[in-house]
Amino acid sequence: MQATRDRIRRAAERAGRDPSDVRLVAATKYVEASRVLDAIRVGLTICGENRWQEAQAKMQAVGERGDVEWHFIGRLQRRKLKWLVGRFTLIHSVESLEQAEEIQRRAHERHTSQAILLEVNVGGEESKGGFSPDALPSAVSQIDTFPSVCVQGLMTVPPWNPAPELMRPYFQRLKQMAELISRLPLQRVHMHELSMGMSNDFEIAVEEGATLVRVGTALFGPRREPVTAES
């Protein structure tokens, strides 16, 4: 944990940033609840989960804690949004207007407001979801009319490359999109957060403005799907 935080700090300092502006989201997919609790004891404050069933079990094991946030960082399924809204501090991966509409509906039913990030497909990959950069401004303007949804920023998963430096243009592109959106006359949409960077490339992401980095393997080592995991 401390080694990862030190890497974040050094990357922020190289970019002339305040390291406290970057928060570590531990990607806890397939990590046992006992190990998550161990990480919390040494300072982990944000758990990022990909699947509701797995997250629910860990939430129960951890219990109600004011010093721990739960973020949803996995691919969203519309039929499962009913389980997520109101239970996660932040949903990182809203990739369509339809998903945002469903979150608005669920949040309204529960008399709550749900914070989200909009996922942007900066690499234009057909295999991945996300708003295209060209479609984002129009979509954001529509989402701004949803009273129970609060957009806090943008998220991206760039095309994989083993050379972290080659990820830099994608992170730069997301930051440019956030700057563009921040200049629009919007009421409920804010660009406070940039969720970008994972174990292989989070230092480059921090240098380019990430405020949330999603790190799993660098914290917990390689993980394998349990036989009983949700399919």
Mean pLDDT, to the nearest integer, of 152-156? 99
pLDDT band at 100 (very low <50, low <70, confident <90, very high): very high
- For the chain, the C-alpha Rg in angstroms (whole number) is 17
Q: What is the pLDDT of residues 84-98, one digit of tens each?
A: 999 999 999 999 999
Q: Does domain 2-220 have CATH number 3.90.550.10?
A: no
Mean pLDDT, to the nearest integer, of 174-179? 98
Q: Which one-letter amino acid corresponds to residue 106?
A: R
Q: Is 100 exposed, middle or buried (0-12, 13-18, 19+ CB in 10 A)?
A: buried
Across-strand partners of 43? none
pLDDT value at position 24? 99
pLDDT value at position 225? 77
Q: Is the pLDDT of residue 231 over 50?
A: no
Q: What is the pLDDT of residues 24-59, one digit of tens each?
A: 999 999 999 999 999 999 999 999 999 999 999 999
pLDDT value at position 185? 96
pLDDT value at position 230? 47
pLDDT value at position 228? 53
Instruction: Return d(Cα 96, Cα 131) in angstroms, integer.
Output: 6
Question: Under a CB-based contact definition with an 8 Å cutoff, are residues 18 and 207 in contact?
Answer: no
Q: Is the pLDDT of residue 168 over 80?
A: yes
pLDDT value at position 227? 55
For the beta carbon of residue 138, count every other beta carbon within 10 angstroms. 11
Question: Under a CB-based contact definition with an 8 Å cutoff, are residues 216 and 28 in contact?
Answer: yes
The structure tokens 């406070």 sit at 192
Percent of the chain with pLDDT over 90: 93
Domain boundaries, the chain: 2-220
The SS3 assignment for 153 reads strand
Q: What is the pLDDT of residues 183-212, one digit of tens each?
A: 999 999 999 999 999 999 999 999 999 999
Q: What is the pLDDT of residues 57-86, one digit of tens each?
A: 999 999 989 999 999 999 999 889 999 999
Q: Which one-letter amino acid corresponds to residue 149?
A: V
- Residue 62 has which token pair? 């951890």
Mean pLDDT of the chain: 96
State the number of CA atoms in the 13 A half-sphere of 127 facing the CB. Answer: 4
Instruction: Return d(Cα 105, Cα 82) in angstroms, integer.
Output: 9
Residue 123's nearest CA partner among 167, 179, 177, 78 is 167
Q: Is the pLDDT of residue 229 over 70?
A: no
pLDDT value at position 38? 96
